[in-house]
Amino acid sequence: MLTIQTFTFNPLQENTYVLYNETGDCCIIDPGCYFASEKIALREFIETHQLRPVLLLNTHCHLDHVFGNFFVNRTWNLPLHLHGAEKIVLDRGPESGQRWGLPFTNYDGPLLFIEAGDTITIGQDQLTVLLTPGHSPGSVCFYSEKQEFVIGGDVLFRRSIGRTDLPGGDYATLENSIRTQLYPLPENVVVYPGHGDPTTIGEEKRENPFVQD
């Protein structure tokens, strides 16, 4: 069984997730740790709980979700898993950082590409990759059917959706992703988004003003 630990990092208030099980295996999703204090907080949590990081995952590669990729790779020697369509977004990270006044060292380690329907294994626990482009060209979500949650990146928020005005974004594509990949999930599935508080599929189908069921 996976326990979900949430950290809210960097000036853009991005949610970083550490998922860990009873054996101590853990995965780090979207490490947005920018400041030294944030990197220390992530490392100390993992060390204090005696966890073994086994996976580094990105839902997508906008800069606020990848600030800490380099740190995680260098600290725990983990290659980065991402969808292939996100490589161009990852490569543009430092340029985006300069525009936002947030320079950072970009990830430069091995890349392992994931696809729709792939299974991510953390010990005895599994996550299914859902391909959900629209906010970003290769955005993915990580779905636990057994525990009824989804790590959603910037696709679906509480009463909102991801912005589509950045390069590679498209509203119609995002709407289709939500309708075909997320809204068919059971209504009690908890959505852990890239920003803000968790919600559920059922709540958003009923109350999200941008994509109504």
Domain spans of the chain? 3-207
Q: What is the DSSP string of 156-194?
A: EETTEE----STT--HHHHHHHIIIIITTS-TTPEEEES
What's the pLDDT band for 135 if we cut at 50, 70, 90? very high
Instruction: Check if the beta carbon of residue 177 is closer than 8 Å to that of residue 128.
Output: no
What are the structure tokens assigned to 152, written together? Answer: 């959603």
pLDDT exceeds cutoff 90 at 212: no
Cβ 115 vs Cβ 22: under 8 Å = no
Quick check: 82 pLDDT over 90? yes
The single-letter DSSP state of residue 93 is: H
- The pTM assigned to this predicted structure is 0.98
Identify the pLDDT of residue 144: 99
Instruction: Express each pLDDT in 166-197 by its tens digit.
Output: 999 999 999 999 999 999 999 999 999 999 99
Six-digit token pair at 143? 């779905």
Which CATH architecture is the domain 3-207 placed in?
4-Layer Sandwich (3.60)
Q: Any idea what the Cα angle at residue 207 is, between residues 204 and 208, rounded to 5°?
A: 60
pLDDT digits (tens, 9 = 90+) for 144-159: 999 999 999 999 999 9
By three-state DSSP, how is residue 81 classified?
strand
| Percent of the chain whose pLDDT exceeds 70 | 100
Tell whether the model's pLDDT for residue 213 goes beyond 80.
no
Residue 70: pLDDT band (50, 70, 90) is very high
In this structure, what are the phi and psi dihedrals at residue 46, rounded to the nearest 5 degrees? Answer: -65, -40
| 27-55 residue pLDDT tens | 999 999 999 999 999 999 999 999 999 99
What pLDDT is attached to residue 116?
Answer: 99
pLDDT of residue 200: 99
Maximum distance among all Cα pairs of the chain, rounded to whole angstroms: 44
